[in-house]
Structure 1
Amino acid sequence: MTATTIDWDYPNPFTLTICVEDQHIDGLGHANNAAYVIWCQDAGWQHSQHLGLDLNAYCELDAAMAIRHAEYDYAGAAYAGERCVMATWLTGNDGRLTMERRFQLVREEDGKTLLRARWQVVCIRKSSGRPRRMPQAFLDRYGAAVINPAR
């Protein structure tokens, strides 16, 4: 099974392949929930960089997107040696201050969804951490990447 044949929740995901390693495994013998959170963070950040909004752009614009609220629904366990694919989508943008990002983690071998997650992110002034309107570059790049989550 490949990222293109997986039954994704939404079309055209940005994907990141994950190799579950011993360092991800907890005392229960499966990937720790915190590893799933880090994988979401990695996929979200790589997607942002793919859209041309990296740390340099954030510094130049004195703007950043920060997580305001996060929900994680753990549906299955990942084990050492397995390959998984983390998908992410931007599913909402109010054009001013907030966006929504969703995630789906799937085990490559059998296509089983192991995690679904949702973030509400807010635009902040990087220099102060205070909320601010999204700069035009955010509206252009993030806004163009938003998909319709009507499924």
Structure 2
Amino acid sequence: MKPSIFKKRIIVPPSAIDGLNHVNNVTYLQWCLEVAETHWISKTTEKQRSEFVWVVLNHFILYKNPSFLGEELEVQTWIDSHEGVKSERHYKIVRPVDGKTIVEAKTLWCFLDGKTFRPAKIPKEIGELFQ
């Protein structure tokens, strides 16, 4: 089954611009984390979010093109796979006006019990929300 892609559009703010007059590399990572959280919130109940949390195990980011102040970007995310306590989430940031890919990234997340903060197996009902 092909995963559904969650999308969010943003306009590059002045706070994202670095000394080279383009979006700072760390900002792209922040946008990826924000869209992941927004996706999680959009698919889950408040009860589920109080029972379970996620932590990052690692990130991989490929910077393909620069982006600049005032540009509209689309941040896309989807779950590629999940097994046991781990889930691999992918991201793509594109500039809709010319279709250029700005960033491709992925994060390996670990699912935790919200009370003990110990790794917990991803329940079937959670996994199915993102497929």
With normalisation by structure 2, the TM-score equals 0.89
- Note closer, same or farther for the CA distance 1:11–1:68 as it changes in structure 2 (3 Å cut): closer
2 CA distance for matches of 1:47 and 1:124?
17
Contact 1:90 1:102 survives alignment (8 Å): yes
Match of 2:72 among 78, 83, 107: 83
User: Does the residue aligned with 2:33 lie in a helix, a strand or coil?
Assistant: helix
In structure 2, the partner of 1:119 is 107
Contact 2:43 2:129 survives alignment (8 Å): no
Aligned pairs, number: 130
Task: List runs of 5+ in structure 2 lacking aligned partners.
Answer: none
The answer on 1:140 being equivalent to 2:125 is: yes
In structure 1, the partner of 2:97 is 109
In structure 2, the partner of 1:58 is 49
Which AA in structure 2 matches 1:141? I
Give, in angstroms, the shift of residue 12 of structure 1: 4.0
In structure 1, the partner of 2:12 is 20
Q: CA RMSD in A?
A: 1.8
Identity %: 24
Task: List runs of 5+ in structure 1 lacking aligned partners.
Answer: 1-9, 147-151
With normalisation by structure 1, the TM-score equals 0.78
